[in-house]
Amino acid sequence: MSRKGCQTNNGFVQNEDIPELDPDPGSSSHTPPHKAVAIPASNGAGSHPDVQPFAGMPKEVLFQFSGQARYRVPRVLLFWLTVASVLLLTALTIAIIAVSPKCLDWWQAGPMYQIYPRSFKDSDMDGNGDLKGIQDKLDYISTLNIKTVWLTSFYKSSLKDFRYGVEDFQEIDPIFGTMEDFENLIVAIHDKGLKLIIDFIPNHTSDKHVWFQLSRNRTGKYTDYYIWHDCTHENGITTPPNNWLSVYGNSSWYFDEVRKQCYFHQFLKEQPDLNFRNPDVLEEIKEIMKFWLAKGVDGFSFDAVKFLLEAKHLRDEIQVNKSQTPDTVTRYSELYHDFTTTQVGMHEIVQSFRQTMDQYSREPGRYRFMGTEAYAESIDRTMMYYGLPFIYEADFPFNNYLNTLDTLSGNLLYEVITSWMENMPDGKWPNWMTGGPDTTRLTSRFGNQYVNTMNMLLLTLPGTPITYYGEEIGMGNILATNLNEIYDTNTLFSKSPMQWDNSSNAGFSTGNHTWLPTNSDYHIVNVDVQKTQPNSALRLYQDLSFLHVNELLLSRGWFCLLSNDSHSVIYTRELDGIDRIFIVLLNFGESSTQLNLQDMISGLPTKLRIKLSTNSASKGSEIDTSSILLEKGDGLILEYKTNNLFHYQTAFKDKCFVSNRACYSSALNILHKLC
């Protein structure tokens, strides 16, 4: 083959490091050890159609072939296909984000469980519940499908008011354990996938607090940490600056023998109010918040915030009964408290708390919750704690309006529910609670017949349900006996030890005594007994809380009130895109009631399946919708397959409410906002 007009293919030249073998001298033919492979030299490979690409070709040859249409066109197509795919995926991602509703945060996703630590579980036999005891019972709390544990105050305190007389905001009271116990509890709670919020009382401290001791001695910046004013004190009788009263009655001013002035206290005289008009006080409170947030606390319940500021002037508050002799006005309810509650600037202070917490909410999955107590506020004032459209405040003010009911009826419950839902700002999240440390327990308020019905109401309403420890098993108040406490015993009856089993002290403590007596019914009303009884309050609570956590109809759906009267209240839970609804029927009357759903709902099937019932025997069975008998305290959740949702119907449009509206796509199995 002629080498003329050809070039060497260097890609096929053998390794020069390999030694050449001498030809056999006796061989009749001489074969060179290697020879170069050549390809025709040309300006374009296309002029030599017999030449094909080969492995190891040099780049000069590769360039000659790459220009051919059969190689260039697929390459260009692949490039633009890749660009189009990236753009399409980007557009789809943006579209999904745009149409996706906001995900529920952890404080919205399931029930909260409020614990009074001194009464939950005693781990060291001293008769007082403690932090280790709570940790020991986290498995039980998980069986309730709880998402958030809420601890009332455990700070170092004289416990004069059992929650509010704080001596040191950064120390654990020895009754409850140590700071190490608290840190271990946080870790254990988070390991269970739960969150922890704690009470925080910024309005006042104990008179034993170091700040107060420094203030009464006029020491440096602490001089004005509290609200001091000149007053007359002669022969043991104090003439206060004005007629302002303590929540517990009598004057809210108390003469201090050390400073020779009166200090202001909205609660007990042992609980002097902080002066939040002093910026140093606000910064101190923020530092305390940061201390606990750094420990891993997931949020706070801020108590008594409406008392944070008082009017700068000291004008007398107006009497409710203007004809009453001023000297006889001693009860808190006898004055309008226009100068000592919800003052201008109070919400700005609460908003600053929110801003401090936001500094610790930047880490994904670590949003810090903020709730505020709004006890005895009007509904309009309560809603102000949600904040403004662009100024965030509380995630929600705690809704204790169900706690204020002394009697039950369908009409009363209708009023409480609609009052909150109609006044709640758009896009905000509701919550409901049926008990608390200062509230008479359900059984003692209404009777044990209504415990299951109230729990069914609590766990099927829209928003976050909040359960006070023991309400899931129907615990009642203890009776007024010798409680061995000098403080107002009316606040103690709902704080009796948790009833775990029928052993000594209801399984709360293995010690010889408990700080409060256990309820006499603990042999039959306890966790150990009820967890094996299919018709128990505990088993129903577990079923209801499981349904609440796992059903989009309950966690994200519309709430539509269908009917209410002196006995019953009937409502639905429904969601766009899901072809079924829940109909909830609850009888709060003093007697049985007969209901005909056929008359209320057109096109309703004659039979509907019972999803859950206060009577476990009927669960899963069918019921005649034209004649439903609800006994006193009965409740039913019926499941109804339909695409005719009530919130689209004119007759119910004004009675339907939703927060963070969402729709469900069964095809994609996602939630979206294109309803």
The tokens for 79 are 């490039």
Secondary structure (3-state) at 66: helix
Least confident of 23-32, 164-173, 534-543, 620-629: 23-32
HSE (CB half, 13 Å, CA atoms) of 399?
28
State residue 484's pLDDT score: 61
* Average pLDDT for 555-578: 96
Q: Is the pLDDT of residue 32 over 60?
A: no
CA distance 520 to 18: 100
Of 453, 302, 471, the closest CA to residue 375 belongs to 302
As beta bridge partners, residue 671 has: 664
State residue 23's pLDDT score: 44
Of 431, 432, 451, the closest CA to residue 441 belongs to 451
54 — pLDDT class (breaks 50, 70, 90): confident
CA distance 675 to 663: 6
* Average pLDDT for 53-71: 79
pLDDT digits (tens, 9 = 90+) for 313-335: 999 999 999 999 999 999 999 99
The tokens for 300 are 């706070």
64 — pLDDT class (breaks 50, 70, 90): confident
Cβ–Cβ under 8 Å, residues 290 and 236:
no
Contacts of 148 (CB under 8 A, 6+ apart): 106, 107, 110, 111, 112, 113, 194, 195, 196, 197, 298, 369
Share above pLDDT 70 across residues of the chain, in percent, rounded to a whole number: 91
Global pTM reads 0.88
The tokens for 221 are 């910046």
State residue 1's pLDDT score: 42
Q: How far is CA 546 from CA 111, 524, 540, 572, 641, in A?
A: 10, 24, 10, 18, 21
State residue 43's pLDDT score: 45
In single-letter form, the type of residue at position 564 comes to: N
Contacts of 50 (CB under 8 A, 6+ apart): none
The tokens for 90 are 């980007």
The tokens for 279 are 């910026």
Where are the strands (E) in 599-662, listed by range? 607-613, 622-624, 628-630, 635-641, 656-657
Cβ–Cβ under 8 Å, residues 207 and 311:
no
CA distance 388 to 382: 13
Continuous segment of H or E residues that includes residue 551: none
Continuous segment of H or E residues that includes residue 142: helix 138-143
CA distance 305 to 300: 12
DSSP 103: P
Least confident of 218-222, 261-265, 372-376, 580-584: 372-376
Cβ–Cβ under 8 Å, residues 265 and 252:
yes
CA distance 387 to 115: 27
> 8 vs 338, which has greater pLDDT?
338
Q: What is the DSSP string of 177-188?
A: --HHHHHHHHHH
CA distance 224 to 226: 5
Least confident of 26-40, 139-153, 218-232, 410-424: 26-40
Q: Which sequence positions are flagged as catalytic?
A: 303, 373
State residue 199 phi and psi, 5-degree precision: -70, 145
State residue 58's pLDDT score: 83
In which residue are the tokens 């505990």 written? Answer: 538
CA distance 581 to 642: 7
Q: How far is CA 226 from CA 205, 255, 263, 274, 598, in A?
A: 10, 13, 7, 4, 64
Looking at the chain, how many residues does it have? Answer: 675
pLDDT digits (tens, 9 = 90+) for 101-136: 888 999 999 999 999 999 999 999 999 999 999 999
DSSP 484: S
In which residue are the tokens 């020879």 written? Answer: 35
Contacts of 302 (CB under 8 A, 6+ apart): 200, 201, 202, 350, 353, 370, 371, 372, 373, 394
pLDDT digits (tens, 9 = 90+) for 278-306: 999 999 999 999 999 999 999 999 999 99
Query: Taking the mean position of all CA atoms in its chain, how far away is CA 369?
Result: 7
CA distance 451 to 394: 30
Q: Is the pLDDT of residue 378 over 70?
A: yes
Q: How many CB atoms lie within 10 A of CB 515?
A: 23
Of 222, 298, 301, 318, the closest CA to residue 263 belongs to 222
Q: Is the pLDDT of residue 95 over 90?
A: no
The tokens for 207 are 């008179």
As beta bridge partners, residue 256 has: 261
State residue 35's pLDDT score: 45
161 — pLDDT class (breaks 50, 70, 90): low
Share above pLDDT 90 across residues of the chain, in percent, rounded to a whole number: 80
In which residue are the tokens 């959740």 written? Answer: 637
State residue 59 phi and psi, 5-degree precision: -65, -30
N- to C-terminal Cα distance for the chain?
79
